[in-house]
Chain A
C-alpha cells in the first residue's frame, strides 16, 4: 500500500458518500454511518480526488490558523490511513 504523500489525491471510496447537510452531515457507507468532528469533516470534504494532500493541508492551515499545522498534518495522516483501512478512502 502506498503511503499518503503530498502529491496523493485522496478521495472517498466507491459507495462512500455524504448524507444530510451542515452540522447533521454524515458519511454513509456499506453497513455504516459516521458523524465526524468538525476538523475531520473539513479534511474529508476536501478529499475529492482533485486536490492533493498538500493543498488540503494548506486549506486546513488557513481555516484553522490557531492550530499547529504540524499537529493537523499528523492527525490528518493518521485519520486518512484509518479510513483507508476501513476502505472508506482511496489514495
Chain B
C-alpha cells in the first residue's frame, strides 16, 4: 500500500481526532518531529479538545513564543512536556544535535503561569547518568508538577548507538538510588516517574500496554502503527487513515491483530502468570535481538534468548570507556546522529 507522500492536512487530522474519540480514546499526544513546526497546531489542539480528548504536547520548545503559547492554552491544551538531554548546556546540545537547551530554560516560567500541566522529561544514558543528581536539581528549579526520568530505550537511533549509550550496571543501580531519594525529598511537590533500561530488568516492560490493546500511533502521513518501532518487523502491512476508517484499522486490520491477545505467544509466555501483566514484552525488541518477532522478549530472565542480552551487557561493560567528551573531535566518530527530517 502506498502512503501519501505528504503530511496529513488539517481536516485529515481533525477526522483522526474525531474517530479516535468515538473509539474511546482519552488522551492524544502530539509529538514529533516537532509539533510546533505545524502552523495549524493550535487548530489541531482546539479540535482534539472539542472532541473531549486530553491533549498533550511533547516538544523541544523551539518555535514556542508567548503569543503562540497563549493561543494553545486558549485552545484547550492540557499538558506540555519539555525534554532535557543534560544539565550541562554543551553536553545537552551535543547529544541532541541542536541548541535548544538554553531556550527550554527560558520557557519554564511562561509555562508555569498557565493551568496547563507541566512535565520535565530527562533522558538518561551512560554519558550523562553520572550527573543525574544535577539534572534533577535543574528540573526542580523549573518547578514542574511532574518529572519523568527516562533511561533511553534501545530502538532506532539509540540502538545504533547502544555501545555509547547503554549504562553499566553500577550506573543503573546508582541512578535508581538517586531517583528514590529524590522521590522522597520532593514528595507532594514534584511527582517523579522513572523508567529503567529494560536490558537490566528481570522481566520485560508491558510495551505500549500490550500490542493493539491501549494505544495507537498515527504518523505524520497517516500510517497507523501499534507502536513507534513497529515498522522494523518485516511482513507487517500498515494501514493509512486516508484509506481506511480508524475503527476498522484498530479492530480488524492484520497489523493490530498480529500480536493482540495470547494466541501468538510462545513458551514460556504462554503458560506464564505474568503474561497478563507484560504481554510477553516488546515485539520489536524481540525481532531486533533474536530475529523472531514472536519470541519472548529477550530482556526477560525466563526467555530462551536471554543469554543474548547478558552477552551484550558483558560486552558493553568491557568497552565502556570514560564518557565521550563533547569538545573532543574524536567523539563524533563513535556517535551516529539521526539525519534531520526533510
- Seen from chain A, the residues whose Cβ lies within 8 Å of a Cβ on chain B are 1, 13-17, 19-20, 26, 28-31, 33, 84-87
The reply to whether A30 and B146 contact each other, CB–CB distance below 8 Å, is: yes
A28 touches B27 (CB 8 A): yes
In the docked arrangement, what's the CA distance between A51 and B46, Å? 30
Given A15-B145, A19-B54, A28-B54, A87 and B191 contact (CB-CB distance below 8 Å): yes
CB of B127 within 8 A of chain A?
no
- Known pairs A1-B189, A14-B145 / 6 extra A-B pairs, C-beta < 8 Å: A14-B115, A15-B116, A19-B52, A28-B27, A30-B78, A87-B190
Q: Mark B185-229, 1 if CB is under 8 A from A, else 0.
A: 001111101000000000000000000000000000000000000
> Given A28-B27, A31-B193 in contact, is the A15-B115 Cβ separation under 8 Å?
yes
A28 CB to nearest chain B CB (Å): 4
Query: Would you give the shortest CB distance from A20 to chain B, in whole angstroms?
Result: 7
Chain A residues with CB under 8 A of B11: none
* Cα distance, A17 to B54, chains bound together (Å): 9
Verify if B180 is at the interface (C-beta below 8 Å from A). Answer: no
Interface check B119, CB cutoff 8 A: yes
From B52, B78, B145, B188, contact of A20 by CB (8 A): B52
Q: Is the CB of A30 within 8 A of B188?
A: no
| Chain B contact patch, size range | 20 to 34
What residues make up the interface of B, taking CB atoms closer than 8 Å to A? 26-27, 52, 54, 56, 78-79, 81, 114-119, 145-146, 187-191, 193
Nearest B-chain residue to A20, judged by Cβ: B52
Interface contact B118-A15, CB-CB below 8 Å: yes
> A85 to B187, Cβ gap below 8 A?
yes
Query: B145 touching A13 by the CB < 8 A rule?
Result: yes
Q: Is the CB of A87 within 8 A of B78?
A: no
A30 contacts B114, C-beta separation under 8 Å: no
By Cβ-Cβ distance, the 10 closest A-B pairs, closest first, are A15-B117, A87-B191, A1-B188, A28-B54, A87-B145, A30-B79, A14-B115, A15-B79, A30-B117, A15-B78
A26 and B146 alpha carbons, distance in the complex (Å) = 20
In whole angstroms, what is the CA distance A33 to B193 when docked? Answer: 16
Minimal beta-carbon separation of A32 from chain B (angstroms): 9
Complex contacts, A86 vs chain B, CB 8 Å: 191
Contact across chains for A28 and B26 when beta carbons are under 8 A apart: yes
B78 touches A17 (CB 8 A): yes
Question: Which residue from A19, A29, A33 sits with its C-beta under 8 Å from B117?
Answer: A29
Query: With a CB–CB cut-off of 8 A, which chain B residues contact A17?
Result: 54, 78
Q: What residues of chain A lie closer than 8 Å to B190, measured between beta carbons?
A: 87
Return B20 CB to nearest CB of chain A, in Å: 14
A32–B111 CA distance with the chains assembled, in angstroms: 21
A84 to B188, CA, bound (A): 6
Q: Is the CB of B191 within 8 A of A33?
A: no
Q: Min CB distance, A57 to chain B, in Å?
A: 21
Q: How far is the CB of B209 from chain A (nearest CB, A)?
A: 11
Query: What is the bound-complex CA distance between A85 and B192, given in angstroms?
Result: 10
Interface pairs (25), CB distance under 8 Å: A1-B187, A14-B115, A14-B116, A14-B117, A15-B78, A15-B115, A16-B117, A17-B78, A19-B52, A20-B52, A28-B54, A29-B54, A29-B79, A30-B78, A30-B119, A30-B145, A30-B146, A31-B27, A33-B26, A84-B188, A85-B188, A87-B146, A87-B188, A87-B190, A87-B191
Give the most central of B118, B191, B193: most A CB within 10 Å.
B191
Q: Could you tell me the distance between the alpha carbons of A19 and B78 in the complex, rounded to whole angstroms?
A: 12
A14 to B143, CA, bound (A): 13
CA distance A19 to B24 in the complex (A): 12
